[in-house]
Amino acid sequence: MKSAVTIHGMHFSNRSLTMSKDMLGIAVRKLVTLPSPMLGIVCDHLDKLADPVWVNATKKFLRKEEAWLADFSRDMTKEGWTLLGDAREPWPISTADLEPVPFLKEKEGEELVRRSREELHANLGQRHAEYLLENQDEIPEELRKFLLVFPCTIWRDRRGNRRVPYLFWGGGRWQLGFDWLGGAFVSVCRLLRPRK
């Protein structure tokens, strides 16, 4: 037997959503009670709902899931790794708006994750690194001398080591690697952050 439930005029049956007789009336009654600034947001969102990507993202948002995070191009779970943390900054990013930041202090490593977020405001992770890989022609040539570290995505490898992604210039192109947080970073390492 099929089970169904009605919430605010919407009927849910077998995980499907159907419109009730008065769903439009319910929506209009709610809209007229909203403050003007909120109406602009609602109108903007309604325009975007013509795009299926926005429909799917809205569904995820309403289920309190991450709505805008795409899968990793290099998904380390396929190598038996576990994702421990990930960046919350919006993406894609503009390379023109990024600046390299030196970060080395004595015994850097695990402390790097905290400092990158709290002190240096360099909150980029693997998705940002992968975006840059896909748009290598936008990365300024002067950054080729650095290893670009993205410490806001943290993986645990099969041996239990915590690792963060980084980009390095080699073989005539940028490449993605993963460094051990317990290891020692070198003076050519840089974080990236939005210019102030």
Could you read off the pLDDT of 112-137 as tens digits, one per residue? 666 766 677 778 899 889 989 998 98
State the amino acid at position 126 in one-letter form: Q
- Above 80 in pLDDT, residue 37? no
pLDDT of residue 151: 87
pLDDT of residue 1: 45
Give the mean pLDDT of the chain.
77
- Above 70 in pLDDT, residue 51? no
Distances (CA, A) of 135 to 95, 130, 132, 138: 9, 9, 5, 6
pLDDT of residue 193: 82
What HEC string does the chain produce?
A: CCCEEEECCEEEECCEEEECCCHHHHHHHHHCCCCHHHHHHHHHHHHHCCCHHHHHHHHHHHCCCCCCCCCCCCCHHHHCCEEEECCCCCCCCCHHHEEEECCCCCCCCHHHHHHHHHCCCCCCCHHHHHHHHHCHHHCCHHHHHCEEECCCCEEECCCCCEEEEEEEEECCEEEEEEEECCCCCCCCEEEEEECC
Q: How far is CA 11 from the centre of its chain?
A: 33
- Average pLDDT over every residue of 73-89: 86
* Percentage of the chain lying above the pLDDT 70 cut: 69
Could you read off the pLDDT of 89-107 as tens digits, one per residue? 665 677 777 888 877 665 5
Q: How confident is the model at residue 23 (pLDDT cuts 50, 70, 90)?
A: confident
pLDDT of residue 16: 47
pTM over 0.85: no
